[in-house]
Structure 1
Amino acid sequence: MSLTAQRPFSIHIFLPDGTPDGVRVVEKDNWLGVGLVCPRARFPDAKSRPEFNRPGVYALIGPSEESDLPKVYIGQGDTALPRLEQHFSKKDFWTSLILFVSQTDFLDKTRIEYLESRLCALAGEAKRCVLDNKQAPQLPTLSEAAQAAVNGFLEEMLPIYPLLGVTAFEKPQVMRVEVTHYVLRARGIEARGYEEGSGFVVLAGSQVANDFVPSAATYLQTLRAALQEQGVIADRGDGLKLTQDYTFDSPSTAAGVVIGRTVNGRETWRDEAGKTLKENQSHGTEGNGETV
């Protein structure tokens, strides 16, 4: 998720409408940025807010017709409002937007173009959404100092997205703490993974069953189809495998996609001693395994 080591932080959420499902203004301690979350239905009334008249980078988020993965469009504007008004009239898929701006003049045209390009690259690497951008924006040229400064701004932005329910930019990071490895063996395949805060990570190289049993849940089949479309699951000549570490929303979804059957993942994933994920969590032993 983060470009560097994770660290504690506090956020402050202001509800100008006085309702939890309305506009939200998000700030962090000791950060010059501000995030604005706006449901599509509130945009006509909310667009008079000053944040929309600043340079900023935004994500439009909504359901995808192609799969169970959300659809996301990343954009930017040296004044965000005109671009967002165009998207309001021409893009039908999105149901909410998240806009990030600076409370100072830190963000200019080149810097928001840099943020747009980096966010598109992160979403493309994570493959946890259907990216609506037709072309990947190129990184603009920045001085080394400016690039470091904008990366610092991005580093502050990224942990906020999952707090707002958006995991599109999260790719499993190399863990520096001990976590328990789990293995799943069924239907002739073997998969490995571990649980983390945002879901269950299945490791690259894990095998995937060739087909689904007739009773498998539809959402598992549509999710696997989307992952195959994006190249997360592919046939390398010796059967289907994961081509990268991938975070699923839950152990059950992870297990269901790889073995092609609806299962309870907490009872299916087992550590090397044969204990299930559920048993380890019940006895408070989670995290006493190998280092990933």
Structure 2
Amino acid sequence: MTLFSANSSVQTACTNVHRPMGGIEGLREVHDDVGRLTVSAFPAAMIKDMSMARAAVPACYVLADHCTAYIGETGNVGRRLSDHYRDQSKSFAREVYVISGYEGAWFDTTAALYLQYRLTKIAEQAGLVDVMKGTNPQLLELPSHKRASLDIFVEHGDRLLFDAGCRVLRSNFASQRRPVVEADAIGLDDTGPMQIGVVATPPVGSELELAYGELWARGYPTPEGFVVMAGSEVRSTVNPSAPQIVETRRDELMDAEALVSIPGVEDRERLCVAVRFPSAAIAAKVVTGAHVDSSKWQPPRYPRPILIAW
């Protein structure tokens, strides 16, 4: 007899959790008896210890902490996660959730791409965390019967992620829901004037770096605000969770022709002049197109030139 009983004639799926390495907080493999997917959940610190040969399969994955999530896809999840582990912009991740085929079930890169797109949309609509994006997920052009099959993957993946402990797509905690950001909630200083084309000469040791997905930018604080230097990248899209002022600032930069395209890159543009923002917080929001804060500006990983002996 179960703790809760229901008078339902419909047999629901039973979720199974397997811990192949033992313990509670390590690797968990979650699947149910009606689907063809499995979710492998484990601490991000375990990436370096995972068997890469065993994980060389197509997958959709989620890197997450309590505030931020990155939803990606790959044809070789082991190799891709190893890349992320060495990427400073993904250092926020505390948990990893990998969605792949269960016991040899069909799951290819098309399925991974479709899940990435749909789960990203669900996460953005839920508004529980900030969704970090590199290249904007693309909706594939697929015949209706193919899309119907993949929609079942989305339904099953959503359920398994929740059972694995992922709270990126849905949560029972009202406190996790992010409040709607109003203009005055981002700080009075952030609504001040933005100066485009300033002379940028950072004092020695004052430069800071921002890494967000594949995006890179540098800047430094000044008594009047925060200067983002020429050459810094600006993400082309803006997340729905970003405050409206981000769109306003983007329009000002485009009107001033301060942004130029980057050859071979579609999701980012480059600042061709230095720009002084009222604060480091609004500077971070404008360049990332996301609801992030000033803590994204960090001391450079490589503050000095790297010398190579030939």
TM-score bin (small chain): 0.5 to 0.7
Q: CA RMSD in A?
A: 3.2
Structure-1 residue corresponding to 2:30: 26
Aligned residues: 176
**Conserved in 2, the CA contact under 8 Å of 1:60 and 1:94?**
yes
Structure-2 residue corresponding to 1:230: 241
**What does 1:6-45 align with in structure 2 at a 5 Å threshold?**
8-45=12-49
Structure-1 residue corresponding to 2:92: 93
Q: Distance in 1 between matches of 2:91 and 2:153?
A: 30
Find out whether 1:60 has 2:34 as its counterpart.
no
Give the secondary structure class of the aligned counterpart of 1:158: helix
Please state how far the C-alpha of 1:95 moved relative to its aligned partner.
1.3
Q: Which runs of 4+ in 1 moved over 4 A?
A: 231-234
**Conserved in 1, the CA contact under 8 Å of 2:47 and 2:81?**
no
Please state how far the C-alpha of 1:49 moved relative to its aligned partner.
6.7
Please state how far the C-alpha of 1:162 moved relative to its aligned partner.
2.5
**Conserved in 2, the CA contact under 8 Å of 1:127 and 1:232?**
no
TM-score normalised by the chain length of structure 2 = 0.50
- Residue deviations 1:34-85 (CA, integer Å, cap 9, x gap): 11012122222223473x22111000012xxxxxx52100001112111111
Q: Distance in 1 between matches of 2:11 and 2:46?
A: 33
TM-score normalised by the chain length of structure 1 = 0.53
Please state how far the C-alpha of 1:8 moved relative to its aligned partner.
3.1
Q: Distance in 1 between matches of 2:11 and 2:78?
A: 33
Q: Distance in 2 between matches of 1:230 and 1:152?
A: 27
Structure-1 residue corresponding to 2:133: 133
Ranges in structure 2 where 5+ consecutive residues have no aligned partner: 1-9, 186-239, 246-310
Q: Distance in 2 between matches of 1:153 and 1:232?
A: 32
**Conserved in 2, the CA contact under 8 Å of 1:120 and 1:136?**
no
Give the secondary structure class of the aligned counterpart of 2:86: helix
- Residue deviations 1:242-289 (CA, integer Å, cap 9, x gap): xxxxxxxxxxxxxxxxxxxxxxxxxxxxxxxxxxxxxxxxxxxxxxxx
- Residue deviations 1:4-35 (CA, integer Å, cap 9, x gap): xx983211111111110111111111221111
Please state how far the C-alpha of 1:165 moved relative to its aligned partner.
2.9
Task: Name the % identity.
Answer: 21
Q: Distance in 2 between matches of 1:57 and 1:43?
A: 15
